[in-house]
Structure 1
């Protein structure tokens, strides 16, 4: 394959630029795969894959460039498979596996990381289908290509994962609850949660009944400690979080539009506050999803994490997200917090605050419902 002297920007094309080919094979030439809407004839020759040199072990990503020109083309990547799973992971794309080819020249990446378990030459198989808007396949497609990569043994995560983290891919650790960072070196909740508290991905402790504080280190006691003392041991008589032991003046029911509020009005006010808070969450959620959509291509996310993010982005168009899905978005952004700018960090902080407020209000509503059932 020779270097292209001039490319027709109005035709379908797919190529690897000469700088990338120089890194992979040592030849500073442009590798043309599709030119002027036609697959290069040399790619169709049998035995070509065996003649190509293996990709060096230090190359983990390959940059490809393509364009659709004046026409619209639908693409579909299939069979992105490693034939030597103990040496090489399955390839990962920085774009969806199917969609539309952009009109102008656009670069996308294919990641081909080694497992680091052993040394050797691994093979991968790539399949690419391209169709016109009428559903007809482009001439000489699908393109089925076989590449080789040289792999060496190495420590998957260097430095090693801390705090009982598990290494899942090169330089990427899966962290237990309460820890984050590339090597699980950051404590999410600041301090370990005490008294059976659970560290949530949002960065705070969820305390069991009767305890409170940033690390659930304090307990509510009856009678209360005097002279500014702090109760920090479990008590036999725990005061519920929504119970006030002080004497309270009774508020008479509403009479002729004056005085206190009725139970029905208080219930309506709570519903209104929850509805307002939900609107704020949805508004902030849109901004959070925009941040993820814009920046996730450069983050070190696993294949399952990217699949889950795409699923959430589809679901949010038809319904409100569940609390577990919202917590998952917070977990992803918190793990990549060092790559966010100041404004994006503020949006993440606001989203966490709104979710925490929503959780508190729902918890109070459930407690009151249980109390009413007991009274009945």
Structure 2
């Protein structure tokens, strides 16, 4: 029987359940639309990206575990574990993407364990086991290292806890997943004789197992071990030509084709993102980020943050930060005081109009003309500041 390409692993732990619960063909267009909308949402999401799904299934669609702050229904299916295939031996990791949007969520992998350590070592993650979920989309991986001692199939367990800034658990979490991983040690096949014809078909040092199926070495996959695996994946339509080696299309460079090639250097902190295209920081524009939105430069360490709009460091004010004098600052606060300065007692003292532990929240003027005493004011988070805020909040919540 011909072996199907090794596609099961990427379903870990979501796609296989989605295949069983609903028709992928029907969901393809629907989830593509959801994915486009999701990038504009402001709440928690966790998914396998569409390029990774297409790489192993042919369907270009994302598969979500969490969308808009809610765990997707098929993750909660009581028969979820029965739907999941065995992860093939040639695949040693699976990638996920997550983001918290404009909200703050904190995570903890409190269980990463293998039921048979003679076959499979406990899985690991490429992020800290606890911390803050990034606001913008970022990729992390679950690594599945075989022990190399014995061939076989071993189960492993993953449990992920998620809570908000107040320490409250996300509904339907922690996420609990039990999966199976195949490991193969060369020379332990049950076959009494080598199938030389099969061995010749297996490329890149692959070999035949007892079922006359090519067993691929780490870094390759496919029916005859022809497909190389790159982690992270090659970006911008790059091609993986060997394990961890990307061939980049014209106009791109970098280990994963993540960077562009600009004939002229991007200025003022700009970043080359594709051929002759610069991504400019706030306050600058132009093909090379050569123009400032502030006609008169910001003085005394101020930064241009909009059209003729300077953000001044504490102690200075004015349209161009030209008024004032520097204030002695200390540098022993846990995080930078964005709109204030660090005092000797390790706390932030905020500029007028700002508040919060790190002076990251702005007091807004009432939208109404009614300024009667007691009329409520609103506030907003400074996105730049909150990206820097990664302290896990203290909580008396007890996880079960």
Same-fold call, TM > 0.5? no
Please say which structure displays the higher CA radius of gyration. Answer: 1
TM-score relative to the length of structure 1: 0.39
Specify which structure has the higher proportion of helix: 1
Specify which structure has the higher proportion of strand: 2
TM-score relative to the length of structure 2: 0.37
